Amino acid sequence: MLSIVLFAICVGLSSQQLPHGHELTQMVDYGFSLTDTDKNGIISLQELSTAYSIGDFDGDGQISFAEYMKVTNQTEAMARPMFNAYDTDGDGMLPLDHMAEYLHLMDKNGDGRVDKNEYEHYTVKLIQCVYSDHGHGSHGHAASCVTQH
């Protein structure tokens, strides 16, 4: 699983066409800058939680698929594969208290902080992995996507 840092990114994924190469990297960088609210080049757990909680419109501590679609402004076809990648237990909800777990997945060198390189590496790989089957209901979970190599 990962983060709704992706919320910011997914806004750019609203078309059926998945960006590639430089365009994808730019989109990911934009997501990073939106999440890194104090602009110190590091995404902290608090910043991640804040970014994530934006999508919890009804304040129940979880992101439902409807909330996810609303905050990412995506079509169901585009939103579903990524949502499913995060929803590892398949209950249709993404709980806010999983932030530390998401952060840990991105923190490649294990220093407890996520810098831009780590974020970029993880997110680009995740997007490519989740959408690699062209959105036909990918069942690749975010965690397995990024631990394959």
Binding site for Ca ion (CB under 5 A): 36, 38, 40, 42, 56, 58, 60, 62, 107, 109, 111, 113
Phi then psi for residue 10, to 5 deg, are -65, -20
Which residue, 23 or 76, is less far from Ca ion as judged by CB?
76
Q: Do the strands 62-64 and 42-43 form a parallel or antiparallel pair, or are they unpaired?
A: unpaired
Whole-number minimum distance, CB 17 to Ca ion, in Å? 29
* Percent composition of the chain: helix, strand, coil (DSSP 3-state, to 5): 55, 5, 40
Closer to Ca ion by Cβ: residue 25 or 62: 62
Residues constituting the chain:
149
CA 85 to chain centre: 9
Say what angle helices 65-72 and 76-86 make with each other, to 10 degrees. 120
Instruction: Report the nearest approach of Ca ion to the CB of residue 78 (Å).
Output: 20
CB atoms within 10 A of CB 137: 9
Of 101 and 107, the one with the shorter C-beta distance to Ca ion is 107
Least Å distance between CB 24 and Ca ion? 21
- Min. distance of Cβ 19 from Ca ion in angstroms? 25
Q: Which of 2, 131 has the CB closer to Ca ion? A: 2
